[in-house]
Structure 1
């Protein structure tokens, strides 16, 4: 009986959120990390498709991301505001710069699982590369000119020196029940 009780407690702990006060479970963290790191690996290997169908040149010195509970907490704070995924919904640039934090926002009112919603957001952000271009088959160097093309979300995911990510979500009645997804990034 005691062994069964211990197993139940262990199961409950493993199914619970990993970060304090979080709704992001270990399974969702794994999805966030594997999706980001798979895209980053494709880019590092020169397998990312750019606008026009060519492949981007391989990236150098790209780190594998790890999950960060502090970034998740700041992402949750923003998601809880339910401001939408437009420019007005972003954190002030001064705050992001002072904390060396990058930020992506996504929202959807499509009924789907949280995992599917997170994947849809990450696919949308990464899809900016093939939709808008910005880098070439011989140069993956990012400039402000590239940013103006509309690949800012992709850049947050692909930035070579980024080492950590934390994401959060919130259903927002004030936004017709859209679910806000926010991911924060930090570089070395």
Structure 2
């Protein structure tokens, strides 16, 4: 498995306190790590600095949203993670990513980065120019696409112990049935943030005001 570095960064306005229901394996510090890690990668992607096939630079994104953390998505991810399935299932109202690892001491920032790196490493087999940045299930990039779609607004994640393994699940909304559609719109970073109404540009991401 190939990995590459995801930058942790903070978009102005990220709340330090979330009002999610208490669950084992996750707290507000981890919630912030989840959203920061996702947005860190999305920022690299939007600015044309993420790696694609043969380590080519990614195509820049004109309206890549800054994700916000969502408690309802977390609740859904927790219910899925409790099943201890080894296969992601994007049923219901969310797209799902799953990462399974061994960690006797619980989850910290490092496994979160490892999870996002694992999911987005699928892009290392993607020739964006040849595929016209379209999503097709035959490309085997569903995890990358879930992290990278510019139409995604919210993410929520859960961590559950399953025997000797730990299952880390993230749910994304709104759910996208994306066969044959662009993963994101190409163009100068933040040049089309106006598509989302009142918003500002932070590190190549469109941040709702």
TM-score exceeds 0.5: yes
What does 1:8-157 align with in structure 2 at a 5 Å threshold? 18-23=19-24, 24-84=26-86, 86=87, 90-91=88-89, 95-96=91-92, 99=93, 101-111=94-104, 113-115=106-108, 116-130=110-124, 132-136=125-129, 139=132, 141-144=133-136, 147-157=137-147
For this pair of structures, how many residues does the alignment match? 158
User: For the Cα contact (< 8 Å) 2:46–2:60, is it kept in 1?
Assistant: yes
**2:159 aligned to which of 148, 151, 169:** 169
More helix by share: 1
Unaligned runs of 5+ residues in structure 1 are 1-14
User: For the Cα contact (< 8 Å) 2:135–2:145, is it kept in 1?
Assistant: no
| TM-score normalised over the length of structure 1 | 0.76
Unaligned runs of 5+ residues in structure 2 are 1-15, 176-209
| TM-score normalised over the length of structure 2 | 0.69
CA offset at residue 71 of structure 1?
A: 0.4
Rg bigger for which structure? Answer: 1
CA offset at residue 45 of structure 1?
A: 0.7
Q: Deviations over 1:16-60 (max 9, x none)?
A: 984113242111011111110010011111111111121111012
Q: Structure 1 runs of 4+ off > 6 angstroms?
A: none
